[in-house]
Structure 1
Amino acid sequence: MILEHADITIPPGQQAAFDEAIVRGITTVISQAQGFRGWRVQRGVESPERYVLTIYWNTLEDHTVAFRQGPLFAQWRAIVGPFFAKPPVVEHFTLVGEAPLAP
């Protein structure tokens, strides 16, 4: 499994609109992508215009080739791209270990 980690910054005061847009973009567009396994998005506490998006993919190529070079990417960017204050920083990781969240 591959974790795509995107560090996203938006203009101040756009949080509510971006919250809606990013969830809509993931659930209606990215969720259709080949190799998509799940997602998590978090907003900064100290820096509320900063978001960390993690998307779980089966393979690196599912993200970098099938999604990024396919038609779904343009649909995704049309939804969230207008909010970007600067280009997101995107990196990929492999999972070393994890534990379930405590109740």
Structure 2
Amino acid sequence: MVLERAEITIKRGKMDEFLDVLVEQAIPLTQTFTGIISFTALRGEEDADNVMFLAEWQSIEAHLESRPEPAHAKFRELVLPFVSAAKTTVHFHSVKSVRPV
């Protein structure tokens, strides 16, 4: 499993419109991405214009395979017009997971 973290800043005054597009159109597309396990979108507490995407993938290869797919391209097409800045997207693999009893 690989966890992808992408962080974006939404243009001022566009968050409400962005969230509508994200929830109603973009997030449903993620369910069709090759190799996706889960997708979560989070809004910043300290900076409400920031959004983080966390995507769990079966592997980095599966993620790369999904990038040229029409649904992935449509996701970017829907999201990018609202973005004013983005941090470098990074990928992590698990070292160890535990859950409190």
TM-score normalised per structure 2 = 0.84
Match of 1:76 in 2: 75
Letter aligned with residue 78 of structure 1: E
After TM superposition, list the pairs within 5 Å mapping 1:1-103 onto structure 2. 1-23=1-23, 24-27=25-28, 29-64=29-64, 66-95=65-94, 96-99=96-99
Pair 1:15–1:25, CA change in 2 (3 A):
same
CA-CA distance at 1:36 after TM superposition: 1.0
Deviations 1:6-65 (A, max 9, x none): 0111112222111222233121x121011111111111111111111101111111112x
- In structure 2, what is the Cα distance between the partners aligned to 1:84 and 1:58? 27
| TM norm structure 1 | 0.82
Q: Cα RMSD between the aligned structures?
A: 1.7
Counterpart of 1:20, as a letter, is D
Mean Cα deviation higher: 69-78 or 33-42: 69-78
Count how many residue pairs are aligned between Structure 1 and Structure 2: 98
| Structure 1 letter corresponding to 2:22 | I
Within 2, Cα distance between the matches of 1:91 and 1:10? 19
Unaligned runs of 5+ in 1: none
Cα contact 1:8–1:89 (8 A) shared by 2: no
Shift of 1:78: 1.3
Secondary structure, counterpart of 2:71 in structure 1: helix
Q: Percent identity?
A: 29
CA distance in 2, matches of 1:3, 1:70: 19
